[in-house]
Structure 1
Amino acid sequence: MDNVIRRRTPGARLARAALYAVLIVMALFYLLPLLIMLLTSIKPLDEIGAGTLLALPEHPTLAPWVNAWGEACTGMRCEGVGGYFWNSFAIVIPAVAISTVVGALNGYALTKWRFRGSELVFALMLFGCFIPFQVVLLPMAQTLGWLGLSSSRAGLVLVHVVFGIAFTTLFFRNFYVAVPSELVSAAKLDGAGFFRIFWRILLPVSAPIIVVSVIWQFTQIWNDFLFGVAFSAHDTQPVTVALNNLVNTSTGVKEYNVNMAAAMIAALPTLVVYVLAGKYFVRGLTAGSVKG
């Protein structure tokens, strides 16, 4: 038996090495656009025109990054993305927090405190996940006008919370289905109420799905362009709108290095989130997939 294992070991090692080689090649191929963006963002314009996409910069410079972060407006030319970068954070943080909390409470109520019509409520919220965003632009604009939130950061927060609740409710509902209902029933017999049960029993085991909700909502809201361009004014626009304005300015010269630097700045938060918490995202998605 030992001889058989020894004979198979080199082949198994070779197969593993081949698998890792394929994965590394695919990863490098996937990261190639990011490498091109990074190289272009530190090249002077004359090198971009004279060289190739993958050519290393002969005279690397951070001037495009400085210009992308904060250029002054001249005529139709818009400023950099620096101020709008913080606008996006001012929109994302409260929207993610509110939609996650409300989604957790909804998922808890729909699984452990069932009421008459709860399945219909969940079906309607699930249906909301499939409504195209373009369909609700006009009704949402009218609603924001009635509430006095047009062209404001608070209005954008409200829009993202409304659309995010359907997804976060789905996440938490599917996760809480796997939590034994006997725990909730025992807590009810001991006199615990709705919020006490949620705080002491459900919330402590919710870390995986909270991570999923936060990553999902952060990515969706940070990368949103449609709502940002439709429901914001110049001083409340998110970074995606500012990036579009910067790239589409008409000055006669396309500053590809500045555009790439601005795109890297706009993408940096989501890259950091996925690098730091990507593995927890997968764990959280599968945590409630099997009951018991």
Structure 2
Amino acid sequence: MIDRLPGEASQPLARAAIYACLVGTAMYFLAPLLVMALTSVKSMDEIRDGNLLSLPLEPTLAAWAKAWAKMRGFFWNSLLLVVPAVAISTAIGSFNGYVLTKWRFRGSETLFGMLLVGCFIPFQAILLPMARALGQFGLAGTTAGLVAVHVIYGLAFTTLFFRNFYMGLPDELIKAARIDGAGFFTIFWRIVLPLSPPIVVVCVIWQFTQIWNDFLFGVAYSSGESQPITVALNNLVNTSTGVKEYNVDMAAALLAALPTLIVYVLAGKYFVKGLTAGAVKG
């Protein structure tokens, strides 16, 4: 019989302890989500008489239907906001990263440093200047104005991500394309962009999450029917008129969180691959 090496006997116990810790942590963070899901399919009478973790006796989707009826317009507002904002900021960020790494010019490092400062400016610091600028351009209280705000604020992050990713691309690839007669835009469209899907996914997930979940810019720069879903959810939950409908509030909160959850489920593994491929290098 072969004797076990020192410490080998303790490996299964250590692995079991790690799994137990991970399962316990997951349950801790998933408990609020479970409470929200259970509450959203209960009637108000059952919510008053039961407890938070009790299973619904008569599950119903009435609260979901009511929540969707109240939040539908604001849901589409957020969608109309997040799609162009993410697309524009990602496109400009990729172009900036390409120029700042493969076509450097005098002052490029200074320009990048100025862009990088944008990553550290608090949202609250630009509320008044941005509101004044939107008013001067006639974009105050509009979805287009909110798109412009998120594009401007997101450029610092997308430029940083793409620049660090493109730092890992060999310069010889660009030089060879130049020798073959490829120009500035041809190299970008035919060579650099086809190599960029990992970092594009990183930027899309990052920007989508930030913009969809944003409340401060939404409440400051939108009004009335143009408000995003986060502002509408806050107004619904904090209303002081009528009976407090907890099931409707929970259903509305889940509706607001569903798009970001879907994005992470579908593209989460590509997000990790993009980060390890160079999004935080350089």
The two structures have a TM-score, normalised by structure 2, of 0.94
Q: For residues 17-166 of structure 1, what are the structure 2 equivalents within 5 Å?
A: 17-70=16-69, 80-166=70-156
Q: Quick one: distance in 2 between partners of 1:217 and 1:86?
A: 17
Query: Shift of the alpha carbon at 1:163?
Result: 0.5
Given that 2:97 and 2:160 are in contact with CA atoms closer than 8 Å, whether structure 1 keeps it comes out as: yes
What is the CA–CA distance in structure 2 between the aligned matches of 1:3 and 1:146, rounded to whole Å?
81
Q: 1 CA distance for matches of 2:46 and 2:82? A: 37
Corresponding position of 1:74: none
Does the residue aligned with 2:181 lie in a helix, a strand or coil? coil
Across the aligned residues of Structure 1 and Structure 2, the Cα RMSD in angstroms comes to 1.8
1: distance between equivalents of 2:276 and 2:6? 37
Find 2:186's aligned residue among 179, 186, 196. Answer: 196
Aligned to 2:106, the other structure's residue is in SS state coil
Q: Matches of 1:30 and 1:204 in 2, distance apart?
A: 38
Identity percentage of aligned residues: 65
Measure, in 2, the Cα distance between the counterparts of 1:213 and 1:116: 27
Partner AA of 2:211 in structure 1: I
- Find the aligned partners of 1:227 and 1:68 in 2 and give their Cα distance: 23
Q: Name whichever of 213-222 and 251-260 sits farther off.
A: 251-260
Q: CA deviation at 1:102?
A: 0.3
Alpha-carbon distance in 2 for matches of 1:64, 1:290? 47
1:257 to 247, 256, 276: 247
Q: Structure 2: which amino acid aligns with 1:133?
A: F
Q: What's 1:235 paired with?
A: 225
Q: CA deviation at 1:11?
A: 4.7
Once the two structures are overlaid, the 10-residue window that deviates more, 57-66 or 167-176, is 57-66
Gaps of 5+ in 2: none
3-state SS in 2 of match to 1:3: coil
Q: Structure 1 pair 125/4, CA: closer, same or farther in 2 (3 Å)?
A: farther
User: How far is 1:63 from its partner?
Assistant: 0.9
Instruction: List per-residue Cα deviations over 1:213-254 (Å, max 9, x = no partner).
Output: 000000000001111111112111100011011111122421
Kindly provide the CA deviation profile for residues 12-59 of structure 1, in whole angstroms up to 9, marking residues without a partner as x: 344333322321221121111100110111111122122211111112
- Does 2:171 match 1:172? no
The CA distance in 1 between the partners of 2:137 and 2:76, in whole Å, is 24
Distance 1:8 1:276 in 2: 40
Q: 1:275 aligns with which of 260, 265, 270?
A: 265
In 2, the alpha carbon distance for the partners of 1:257 and 1:68 equals 9
More moved, 137-146 vs 97-106:
137-146
CA distance in 1, matches of 2:148, 2:264: 25
Q: Which residue of 2 aligns with 1:218?
A: 208
- For residue 179 of structure 1, give the secondary structure of its aligned residue in structure 2: coil
* Aligned residue-pair number: 281
CA 1:285–1:254 in 2, change beyond 3 Å: closer, same or farther?
A: same
Aligned counterparts of 1:90 and 1:285: Cα–Cα separation in 2: 27
Secondary structure of 1:129's aligned partner: helix
Judge conservation of contact 2:165–2:281 (CA < 8 Å) in 1: no
* Contact 2:143–2:226 under 8 Å retained in 1: yes
Q: Compare 198-207 and 124-133 and name the one that shifted more.
A: 198-207
Q: 2-11 or 111-120: which moved more?
A: 2-11
Unaligned runs of 5+ in 1: 71-79
Structure 1 window deviating more from structure 2 (60-69 vs 100-109): it is 60-69
Query: TM-score of the superposition, structure 1-length normalised?
Result: 0.91
- SS of 1:105's partner is helix
Instruction: Look up the SS of the partner of 1:81 in the other structure.
Output: helix
Worse-superposed segment, 276-285 or 218-227: 276-285
